[in-house]
Amino acid sequence: MPKPTTSTASRTTSVRRKVKTAAAPRTNARGERRREAMLSAAQAVFLEHGYTGASLEEVIQRVGGSKASLYSYFGSKEGLFEQMVVNGCERFLRDVAIPTGIEGDLESTLRAFGLRFFKLFTDPNGVRLMRAIIAEATRFPEMAQQFYENGPKRARQQLAAFFAHCHAGGHMHAPDPDFAAIQFITLMKGHCQFRSLFGLSPLALAITPEAFVEQAVQLFLYGCQPPAKPNKKPARSRS
């Protein structure tokens, strides 16, 4: 990936600093509850109307308060949207629970993780959030970069760390764990997320999500080699 230019890097740093400041804990519990309520209302408005169609007036109408308090928490409409994206990334990483160790055996660990992953990235709210981010990515490249850094990149890095642990323990062959993480994630979501973004059913196959994940895990671990043929004992000579 090409390195960002100096101007892009400085803008990205500025965006991160703004979001971090907006997300900082507040000593006033009532103010913190108000902030979270605004963020929750804003998420619903953004997912319903997209960034361009969403209005701060509708957010205030749903939750109460004033524009002044909203600006004090998030700085702007853009800052509010960015904080929603950051929260979405944090929630995804928490709920998907990327494994850090093998539970039982590697296959069952990957199946359980893969199913969590599948359900989260095909969740209707998650799909709508992804559409909203894609729609605004060219207008707000710093926000798109921040989403990538906080979401997909962190997920890939955490999964790569798990695969490195499995490789070191002799549980799988993954000399390049980062590449292995990319391959696994692609197997799990490529086809299904593509369909979901177009408003289609994720699978379009005569198969359950559990069976889809099972076959993807098998393909990831063992490839497309045909099963080994049983060894036939040579016929005994009757001489």
Mean pLDDT of 207-224: 93
111-136 in b/e form (b: 16+ CB < 10 A) is bbbbbbbbebbbeeebbbbbbbbeeb
Residue 145 vs residue 8, higher pLDDT: 145
d(CA 168, CA 124): 38
10 Å CB burial of residue 183 (0-12, 13-18, 19+) is middle
Q: What is the C-alpha separation between 80 and 217, in angstroms, rounded?
A: 38
Torsion on CA atoms 175, 178, 181, 187, rounded to nearest 10? -90
Query: Rounded distance, CA 58 to CA 45, Å?
Result: 7
* Cβ neighbourhood burial of 213 (10 Å; 0-12, 13-18, 19+): buried
Q: Which letter does DSSP use for residue 158 in this model?
A: H
Closest to 211 (Cα-Cα) out of 192, 230, 195: 192
- This prediction has a pTM of 0.78
Q: Which of 140, 161, 168, 148 lies closest to 81, judged by CA? A: 140
What's the whole-number average pLDDT of the chain? 85
Q: Hey, what domains does the chain have and what are their CATH numbers?
A: 12-76 (1.10.10.60), 97-224 (1.10.357.10)
What are 105-131's pLDDT values in tens digits? 999 999 999 999 999 999 998 899 899
